Amino acid sequence: MSTAPTIGRIVHYVSYGSKDGRYDSTCRAAMVTESRPSGELGLCVMNPTGVFFDRQVSQSEGDHRGGTWHWPCVITPEEEEK
């Protein structure tokens, strides 16, 4: 997606998961709070147990590494049923 992320847009933040493997890396809803000249975003990340802010998050559309953001994936109704 080539749309520039602007303040107030919803993106996905990828959590790191835990080193011991107890918690997997997973996508979380996040709202853009700032757009930095470096291309990094400031995000308000929404977790089931609370929120946190990160002011330097890089984009990763391909491999969705922990600690990065990406645009929400398009899910078809057929995929959602699985």
pLDDT of 4 reads 84
Instruction: Quote the CA–CA distance of 31 and 40 in Å, as a whole number.
Output: 13
pLDDT at 76: 72
Rounded to an integer, the average pLDDT of 35-61 is 94
Per DSSP, what are the bridge partners of residue 34? 42
SS3 content of the chain, % helix, strand, coil (to 5): 5, 40, 50
Could you state, in order of their start, the residue ranges of all structural domains in the chain?
10-73
Predicted pLDDT at 15:
95
d(CA 61, CA 59): 6
The pLDDT confidence band at residue 50, using thresholds 50, 70 and 90, is very high
| Residue range 1-30, pLDDT digits in tens | 457 899 999 999 999 988 998 989 999 999
